[in-house]
Structure formats: structure tokens, C-alpha cells
């Protein structure tokens, strides 16, 4: 199950073009049996994900939860301690349900100041260390500074960027699925 925001909800394009749908296809092509649930909502914060999580865990009983949240918290300037507590609660609830967790870190623009930007990045590392979940790669890493891979808003990836996003997280996802 992917619990994310607009990055995983295929903002600005059809869901079929998004990295989550591409993930489901690639897993099938590679002979890995898995049902992929995209529980992502554009604009979602970690708090919104935490509120929805109990119902999602109950409804889908996932064996793996990929958490791609936090970007909207950062863009809204939420306190980092709040983000850390909320992400930790998401990870802990998912783990308590029996799921493994892959936490995907997010980055925010440097105009938030060096202290907040650095602290934001470190929050994901702290949560992974404290909870024992797997910290994945920054999903936008391979094209984060390439304006040609972003929609006109300068934030959301284009359809052409979706396979690159999948390529960045696929090894981590497969490793956790094979570890079950």
C-alpha cells in the first residue's frame, strides 16, 4: 500500500501514468505477486495520512506500507517535531499491524532556510532510526533540479518523470517484498 500525497497520486495526469501504477505493472512483469493499493491523496499531510491509516490498514491488511508523506507539511512550514511525531505514529501503527514500512524521504526548497531545510531532511532519518523502518531513497533525486521533468508549477513531476521515480524506489520495494 502506498500512503502518499500528490507525488504518488499522479497529480496532473491520469493515474495510469503515475509511478504507482507503473510499479504494479513492473512487479507483474517480474513475476512478483503483489496487489498494489494506491491510498495517496493530493495535498495530503502526514496528519491526514495518520487519520486515514487505521481504516486503510483494516480494509487492506497490507504486508508493506510505503510512506511518501511530509512534503506538504514542509511546504506549510509545520513544526519539525510535529512531523517527526506524526511520521513515527504512522510507521508504528503500520508495523503494529504486521506490515513492513518503507519511508520515502522528501526534500523541500532551500528558501525555507538552511536550518529548517536541514532539519526537515534529518526528520526522515530520525524516524527511520527510532522505528527501525527502512529509509528509502529520495524519490525525486534523479531529476529534482531538472525543470523539464516538472509540470508548469515547478513542483509536480511530469509523466516522463514517473518511470524515473519508479526506478529509484523499485529496488527497495522488491527487497522488502522478497523479505516477507
Task: Look at residue 110 in the predicted model and tell me its pLDDT.
Answer: 86
Alpha-carbon distance of 161 to 12, in angstroms, equals 12
97 is catalytic: no
Task: Look at residue 31 in the predicted model and tell me its pLDDT.
Answer: 96
Taking the model in full, what pTM does it have? 0.96
- Is residue 43 within 8 Å of 5, Cβ to Cβ? yes
Query: Tens of pLDDT along the chain (180 residues)?
Result: 999 999 999 999 999 999 999 999 999 999 999 999 999 999 999 999 999 999 999 999 999 999 999 999 999 999 999 999 999 999 999 999 999 999 999 999 888 899 999 999 999 999 999 999 999 999 999 998 899 999 999 999 999 999 999 999 999 999 999 987
Task: Look at residue 145 in the predicted model and tell me its pLDDT.
Answer: 87
Q: How many domains does the chain have?
A: 1
153 is catalytic: yes
Q: Which domain holds residue 168?
A: 2-178
108: domain CATH number is: 3.40.50.1110
Residue 24 CA, distance from chain mean position: 15
172 is catalytic: no
Among the listed residues 6, 40, 46, 88, the single catalytic one is: 6
Q: State the burial class of residue 153 (Cβ atoms within 10 Å of its Cβ: 0-12, 13-18, 19+).
A: exposed
Among the listed residues 8, 40, 156, 168, the single catalytic one is: 156
Task: Look at residue 134 in the predicted model and tell me its pLDDT.
Answer: 98
Closest CA to 180 of 98, 125, 122, 119: 98
Amino acid at each position: 500500500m502506498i500512503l502518499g500525497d500528490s507525488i504518488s497520486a499522479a497529480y496532473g495526469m491520469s493515474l495510469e501514468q503515475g509511478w504507482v501504477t507503473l510499479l504494479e505493472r513492473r512487479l507483474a512483469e517480474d513475476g512478483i505477486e503483489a496487489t498494489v493499493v494506491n491510498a495517496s491523496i493530493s495535498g495530503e499531510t502526514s496528519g491526514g495520512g495518520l487519520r486515514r491509516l487505521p481504516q486503510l490498514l483494516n480494509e487492506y491488511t497490507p504486508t508493506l506500507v510505503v510512506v511518501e508523506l511530509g512534503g506538504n507539511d514542509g511546504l506549510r512550514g509545520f513544526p519539525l517535531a510535529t512531523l517527526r511525531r506524526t511520521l513515527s505514529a504512522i510507521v508504528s501503527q503500520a508495523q503494529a499491524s504486521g506490515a513492513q514500512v518503507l519511508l520515502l524521504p522528501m526534500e523541500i526548497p532551500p528558501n525555507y532556510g538552511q536550518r529548517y531545510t536541514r532539519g526537515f531532511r534529518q526528520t526522515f532519518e530520525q524516524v527511520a532510526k527510532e522505528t527501525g523502518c527502512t529509509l528509502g531513497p529520495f524519490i525525486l533525486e534523479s531529476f529534482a533540479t531538472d525543470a523539464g521533468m516538472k509540470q508548469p508549477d515547478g513542483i509536480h513531476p511530469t509523466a516522463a518523470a514517473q518511470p524515473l521515480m519508479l526506478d529509484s524506489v523499485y529496488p527497495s520495494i522488491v527487497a522488502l517484498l522478497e523479505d516477507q
